[in-house]
Structure 1
Amino acid sequence: MKRIFVAIILVATLGLTAWKLLDNKEKVAEKVYRPDPNLKVGVRVEAAQVRDLSQVSSFLGSFAPNREIEIRPQAGGEIVQLPIAEGQAVGAGKLIAKLDDDQLRFQAEGLQVTIEGYQNDLKRYETLVKGDATPAVNLEKTQLNIRSTQAQAKQIQKQIANTTITAPFSGVVTQKMVEKGSVVSPGTPIAKITDISLLKLVVQVPEKAVGQFKIGQSVGIRTEAYPDERFTGRVSLIGVQGDAAHNFPVEITVANSGAHPLKAGMYGSIENTSQVRGKTLTVARQAIVGSTKQPQVFVVENGKAVLRNVQIGATTNDYYEITGGLKEGEQIVVSGQINLQNGTPVVTQ
């Protein structure tokens, strides 16, 4: 009897608990917001249109010389000639400086006398060896002495040649570090020569724009020095490594102009027109919902917002290129998507 009573109490408790849970579920369900399927959401729309996505990007840089070098002698000594001045134009092979080479020439004369003496000895030994009057080893030693002395003479001639310092290429003397009479050591800077027959405009291009440039591409250049003139250069280098700000160096080579001479250090800017896709179907950037990997847009059809998958291509600051999923003229929601679901009735603004 007691067991029956306990069972009845247990069943009653379980029934009461189930009823309470069901009642709570109904109350919670009553509190959940259910949108009115007939309530229209206000949205702003724009038509998908064909636009020209050409972009004009402007980048500022400064001109660098085509070539620049510090002239450093390979020999040392007193400068006896220095026929240059700062600002002077010099051609390739032009004398920059001449060092005193008297001591080297004296050494060269002494070596030549030694060689002549060995050559005379060689003739005598050749005669004596034929008559077995002297060992052949003396002849061999004399031949080796001649070769050794000739090698020393070549070294001296090379040192003499190094005392004549010439310009390796045509340019302008932009700095003179010594004066006539100065005594210099090997490697001492004497002068700096700068070649500006060609100039290199170096600009820093952001990561998103560096793909607009190709080696050999023709680029228009404008300068602050000649604001009404337009120069043309060609892309000669695109950096393979960016800086901490993800900017990449792009180098544009431009021929200097006699009528409008450019100088190293001047500012220059390039305007690069990138034909992203030319005329193409586009929508506003804010129309895209989801991610760029799975882009979607809300298209207004029969008074309702229909969620549709699209394919996107190039992009600008304002528009996405649409490569699939839309037709020109379709009305695309560009504002108010946060209140939309697939099939939500809308009223356009």
Structure 2
Amino acid sequence: MKKRIIGSAIAVIVIAAGAWAAFHFFNKKDTQLTPSLNTTPVRKGTIEVKVSGTGSIQPSDREKIKASKAGTVLKAPFKEGDTVKKGDILVSYEEDDVSSQIRSKEIDLKKKQLDLNDLQTRFKQAPDDETRESLALNIQKQQLDIESTKEDIANLKTSKSIDPIVAPISGLLTTFTVKPGDTLNPNAELGEIVDYSQMKMVVGIDELDISKVQKDLEAEILVEALPNEKFTGKVVSIADEGTTSNGVASFDVTIALAEAKNLKVGMSAEASIMTAKKEDVLYVPVEAVQSAQGKYFVLVPSTTGQSGQAAQDGQTGRSGQSGQGQQGQWGQRGQGGPGGMPENFQNMTEEERAAMREQFMSGRGGPGTGNTANSGTTNATTTTRVEVEVGINNENSIEIVSGLKAGDMVVLPTVKSSSSSMNMPGGLGIGGAGGFPSGGGGAFQGGGTVRQFTNSGGARMGGGR
């Protein structure tokens, strides 16, 4: 008699525990009872690799104008704001007055010529050889003086003009105020020519990316002040020396813009340089790929375990065989697995769930047909490591050269689960209520009157009566 009382007490305790678990279960919304892996398929498409940098819009070229020599300005045909072409004369100098010097030299030349004629005459009339030798020497000296005077006259005639100042490039003349009559000093800065018809920008590229950048690579430019306009350009120069900041070196890369419409010097911009592009290739998110010892791997999902049999029309569902859960993710399952539930349970309204709870608590049970209940399962999702060969990658995607095919599922490093998910401790199976089948070893099975107490780890309750 004492043993029956103890046994009945145990049965009541187990049934109460099952009732609490069922009530808690039905009041949970969007509950997940099986582990969820965050997966994504292997896709096929285009991968673009870009290197980005920021900078400001600048004119493509600018040159300072300097005075070549000292002198007085004769003409200055252009003023500030004028557009000039390369080679245009910006400044011409007044000629130096050397006419008096030339006239003096010419008179001196005539005197020396007359002296030479006199020496030649005396040479012919010399009475002896000694006199002739002396006259011959004087004649040679006179001839040299005449040649020197002729050269002086020629230099004076050619040195009267100073080379004009010309435009070194085409562009807009800025800060230029030179006027006729101004006196210029050598190397004096007179103004500047700026080419606004073409624009460029200089961006700093990190030392880890600079090896990917080459001349003539295309670039897309986004100007902060003109967000609705798109600009393109090409790399025209790469700095040979970098600048270091906080231990990291960056290198200046100059990009010539294809169009300068609406652009102003000084506007902030960001350039994306296309360093690589592949079309029609397989790729996955870059975080899905792991590396070890120079090799690359991905995780793919796999499933193990068997399912319990569905209950039929109020009969008790048979226990499902134990499944191997994932250690550390859900805890290793003990005997039995989670019970089945209607396929549309997640889509039930709160009124329908309340009616189901009332059926269970009143002992009437549900319809218990195999058509409306899934088999209780003990399936557990695991992962398998697959070695792959990779190609190019950007910040989001990485190319898969071999090891996977399009459509294969790969596991991402995080597991997504709803906020209301229950993490069931290993060894506890949840049975079905009101005809819901369950795996063996659950806390309870179908709702109804107590029929017997078993040693499988929970009370068995007949469904539908």
TMscore range, shorter length: 0.5 to 0.7
Contact 2:64–2:189 under 8 Å retained in 1: yes
Q: Distance in 2 between matches of 1:281 and 1:271?
A: 23
- Normalized per residue, which structure has more helix? 1
Task: Give the 3 Å change call, closer, same or farther, for CA 118–231 of structure 1 in structure 2.
Answer: farther
The 3-state SS of whatever aligns with 1:317 is coil
CA deviation vs aligned residue, 1:149-170 (integer Å, no higher than 9, x gap): 267437734xx314x3332333
RMSD: 4.0
Q: Distance in 1 between matches of 2:392 and 2:60?
A: 36
Task: Give the 3 Å change call, closer, same or farther, for CA 241–123 of structure 1 in structure 2.
Answer: same
**Partner residue in 2 for 1:166:** 166
Structure 1 stretches lacking a partner, 5+ long? 1-39, 338-349
**Partner residue in 2 for 1:316:** 394
Q: Name the stretch that deviates more: 194-203 or 315-324.
A: 194-203
Residue 287 in 1 paired to residue 279 in 2? Answer: no
Contact 1:115–1:149 under 8 Å retained in 2: no
Q: 1:89 aligns with which of 74, 83, 87?
A: 83
Q: Distance in 1 between matches of 2:112 and 2:51?
A: 81
Contact 2:301–2:409 under 8 Å retained in 1: yes
Looking at both structures, which has the greater relative contact order when contacts are Cα pairs under 8 Å and sequence separation is at least 6?
1
Q: Distance in 1 between matches of 2:60 and 2:100?
A: 43
Instruction: Report % sequence identity.
Output: 22
Task: Give the 3 Å change call, closer, same or farther, for CA 336–84 of structure 1 in structure 2.
Answer: closer
**Partner residue in 2 for 1:69:** 63
Task: Give the 3 Å change call, closer, same or farther, for CA 91–315 of structure 1 in structure 2.
Answer: closer
Residue 305 in 1 paired to residue 383 in 2? Answer: yes
CA deviation vs aligned residue, 1:7-47 (integer Å, no higher than 9, x gap): xxxxxxxxxxxxxxxxxxxxxxxxxxxxxxxxx98754433
The 3-state SS of whatever aligns with 1:161 is coil
Cα shift at 1:89: 1.8
The 3-state SS of whatever aligns with 1:278 is strand
Q: Distance in 2 between matches of 1:45 and 1:218?
A: 35
The 3-state SS of whatever aligns with 1:74 is coil
**Partner residue in 1 for 2:331:** none
Cα shift at 1:273: 5.0
Q: Distance in 1 between matches of 2:180 and 2:169?
A: 22
Residue 105 in 1 paired to residue 183 in 2? Answer: no
Task: Give the 3 Å change call, closer, same or farther, for CA 169–127 of structure 1 in structure 2.
Answer: farther
Q: 2:116 aligns with which of 122, 125, 131?
A: 125
CA deviation vs aligned residue, 1:145-201 (integer Å, no higher than 9, x gap): 1465267437734xx314x33323332211126555544321111222223343333
Contact 1:93–1:167 under 8 Å retained in 2: yes
Task: Give the 3 Å change call, closer, same or farther, for CA 171–44 of structure 1 in structure 2.
Answer: closer
Contact 1:111–1:152 under 8 Å retained in 2: no
Moved over 6 A (4+): none
Contact 1:42–1:336 under 8 Å retained in 2: no
Q: Distance in 2 between matches of 1:177 and 1:169?
A: 18
Contact 1:60–1:268 under 8 Å retained in 2: yes
Contact 1:235–1:251 under 8 Å retained in 2: yes
Cα shift at 1:256: 6.0
Q: Distance in 2 between matches of 1:292 and 1:276?
A: 27
Task: Give the 3 Å change call, closer, same or farther, for CA 167–119 of structure 1 in structure 2.
Answer: farther
The 3-state SS of whatever aligns with 1:168 is coil
CA deviation vs aligned residue, 1:102-140 (integer Å, no higher than 9, x gap): xx332x651465257437735863785584654243145
Residue 49 in 1 paired to residue 49 in 2? Answer: no
Contact 2:102–2:157 under 8 Å retained in 1: no
Count how many residue pairs are aligned between Structure 1 and Structure 2. Answer: 290
**Partner residue in 2 for 1:334:** 412
CA deviation vs aligned residue, 1:62-87 (integer Å, no higher than 9, x gap): 33333322222122244454443221
Larger Rg: 2
Q: 1:138 aligns with which of 133, 141, 146?
A: 141
Task: Give the 3 Å change call, closer, same or farther, for CA 209–145 of structure 1 in structure 2.
Answer: same
Residue 114 in 1 paired to residue 118 in 2? Answer: no
Contact 2:284–2:397 under 8 Å retained in 1: yes
Structure 2 stretches lacking a partner, 5+ long? 1-33, 125-131, 305-381, 416-465
